Amino acid sequence: MENIKMKRTLFFTAITILLSISGFSQIEMGKIEKATGNETKVSFPVYDNSENFIIQSEYYKAKITKILESGSGKNPFEEKQCDENEYYKRYNGLKIYYPTYSDEYKKNSILFLKKTNKIEILNWSQIGNKYFTIVNINSFLDKSELYNEAKSNLSKDFYADILFELKDNISNETIFVFESQYNPQFILVPFFEKKKELINGKSFIAISDFSAIKNPVSKTDYSLYIDKGTEWKAELTLLRKKDLKTEDIDENNDQETLLAVLLTNEKDKVIFDLEGSRWNFDNVLLTKKDLENLKTENLNKNKLSENVYIKKYGEKFGKLVYQKKTTIGMSKDMCSDIYGITLNRKKIKNENGEIEIWEYTGILKLYFKNGKLSQIINY
């Protein structure tokens, strides 16, 4: 019997040891995945034809500013920025137009090339008044093979920082352009066409006072003061700087083009320089149709706001609160909705009951008797 017990004890002891060994044998080194270091590539922002050609840093700066000014609370830095060469892909396939210039115009800051078995320099007479399609943009001009080849063959420095590869829309020839990304000399056709669609043939109302250049341009009477509320017909046009000058014209540099809007009515004709004016066109002029829509929209918003107060305080007091008008008998809540909350309050008790005084420093005092407005003292 004792032998049987001994055998059982030995059996269970052996099982326990085996289980312990088995448990320890299952301990292994853990494994975790490591990042490869290759971040997801951020794609270029899709081009919007309401935009002119804009460099990468200015594009993202404008976007961040717009989010901050909207007051939406959205994180303006949430969107990742793509790299420069990726960014400029947004312009690939877009049509551009080069106006005509003299061959001397910006000859040290813009260079047109054609490459066959050698590099051939083109001048403005071969490029001007032509349409091209953007094939590729290299924002690192000085690192490009073509730049180094041109610099070696032509033995000169170029005051440019971006390389455009273009296709001539008539001959299908490939043209290369060394140019400044800050001030390219072409017109971005989709942008120009969109502007024309929004402006030409429309009636605009001045929603603010501003001034514009008199048309025709006069040395003695250069600008005209535009009154708020006046109506104008508009037409987008392409002018040259010298068109807006009356003296000291530099025949070379003043060839530069600019976008302008010709405004006319029964009395006057003026020129609104879209790039040089101290006013933003959209801030001072609105189409007649858009102005009517805005008035209707504001009217609806106002009606909605008024209805909120009427529902809250009834017909009589609700309308007065909406109009920011105070009258005897109003409650504290009504006065708070009109003037806001003030911490400058005090209470007085007398035989007539409790009087509470609200003071809005430098503006007025409100006296409440038993919770109702009983007296208004304006400063």
CA dist list (Å): 212 to 108, 195, 201, 281? 34, 19, 19, 11
- pLDDT, mean over the chain: 89
Q: pLDDT by residue (tens digit) across 219-256?
A: 889 999 999 999 999 999 999 999 998 888 888 889 99
Query: For the whole model, what pTM was predicted?
Result: 0.72
Q: What is the pLDDT of residue 10?
A: 54
Q: pLDDT by residue (tens digit) across 274-306?
A: 999 999 999 999 999 999 998 888 888 888 899
Q: What is the pLDDT of residue 39?
A: 60
Q: pLDDT by residue (tens digit) across 340-353?
A: 999 999 998 887 77
Confidence label for 112 from pLDDT (cuts 50, 70 and 90): very high
**111-106-186-157 Cα dihedral, nearest 10 degrees:** 30
Choose the most confident range, by mean pLDDT, from 32-36, 122-126, 298-302.
Answer: 122-126
**48 vs 370: which has the higher pLDDT:** 48
Q: What is the pLDDT of residue 247?
A: 84
Q: How far apart, in whole angstroms, are the C-alpha atoms of residue 123 and residue 193?
A: 27
Query: DSSP letters of 178-226?
Result: EE-SSS-SSEEHHHHHHHHHHHTT-EEEESS-EEEEESS--SSS-EEEE
Average pLDDT over residues 58-87: 89
Average pLDDT over residues 182-196: 96
Provide the CA 92 distance to its chain's centre, in angstroms: 21
pLDDT of 28 > 90? The answer is: no
Confidence label for 12 from pLDDT (cuts 50, 70 and 90): low
Average pLDDT over residues 166-186: 95
Q: What is the pLDDT of residue 124?
A: 96
